[in-house]
Amino acid sequence: MLKGLLHKVIRKAALDQGRFAQLYRKTNPPPQEYAEFLRRHGAYYAIGEGCYISPTANILDHEYIRVGNNVWIADCTIVGHDGTIGMINTAFGVKLDKVGKVDIRDNVAICHGAIILPGVTIGPNAIVGAGSVVTKDVPKNSIVSGVPAKPVGRLDMMVQMLKIQNKEFPWRNLIEARAGTYDPKIEAELRRMRVEYFYGKRDAAE
């Protein structure tokens, strides 16, 4: 009970006043709530509405990063400043800078393990595949993947393929009826139906 109360105090102080940011992050808040915390107190250039940002995402140089609406960021790395410039300045006796914006437009998903380097614009309407390294702009309506990331498909085509695929799912009525992208009222049944679809009915002896 004491732990739960402490969690509530930390959450309220973080969301309302921006206090206890590190402790709040360690409580593993839901991605939508964490995105709202960053929007209020994260010192980003801007964060839009309806975003989901994983609390395990490694996002540096917040001032140079703009996030649009409906952006989903998994546990990836986003960097606005190239730290190698310090070594270069010392090694060559120069005083240079190497920095760039990261402009994430509306309706973008950045998947697990991706690395976004300085000086890029992503989207709108784009997906960065898991493990990709983005070194240049990601075009509108594209899916990119690889090291370095390159276009591998179009988002509108993916949507059409998903519509066809989803017609076969026995749980499609639950998806169509649920509120938003996650509905705890139907989640248990949704998972049960998916597992049964993947593996068949579980043997009572198992």
pLDDT (mean) for 72-85: 95
Pairing outcome for strands 102-104 and 120-122: parallel
Report whether CATH 2.160.10.10 matches the domain 43-154: yes
Contacts of 173 (CB under 8 A, 6+ apart): none
Using pLDDT thresholds of 50, 70 and 90, give the confidence band for residue 7. confident
Average pLDDT, the chain: 93
Using pLDDT thresholds of 50, 70 and 90, give the confidence band for residue 204. low
Residue 81 falls in the annotated catalytic set: yes
pLDDT in tens, 46-61: 999 999 999 999 999 9
pLDDT confidence of residue 170: 94
Q: Is 28 left (phi over 0), alpha (psi -120 to 50) or beta?
A: left
pLDDT (mean) for 192-201: 93
Is the confidence at residue 205, as pLDDT, over 70? no
Q: With the C-alpha atoms ordered 77, 80, 82, 86, is the resulting torsion angle positive or negative?
A: negative
pLDDT (mean) for 162-184: 90
CA 111 to CA 16: how far, in whole Å? 29
pLDDT confidence of residue 129: 98
Using pLDDT thresholds of 50, 70 and 90, give the confidence band for residue 1. low
pLDDT in tens, 134-157: 999 999 999 999 999 999 999 999
pLDDT (mean) for 179-200: 90
CA 104 to CA 125: how far, in whole Å? 10
pLDDT in tens, 80-115: 998 899 999 999 999 999 999 999 999 999 999 999
CA 14 to CA 20: how far, in whole Å? 6
Name the catalytic one among 7, 62, 81, 112.
81
Using pLDDT thresholds of 50, 70 and 90, give the confidence band for residue 184. confident
Tokens of 181: 């992208």
Is the confidence at residue 206, as pLDDT, over 60? no
pLDDT (mean) for 33-40: 94
Show me where the domains of the chain are located: 1-42, 43-154, 169-206
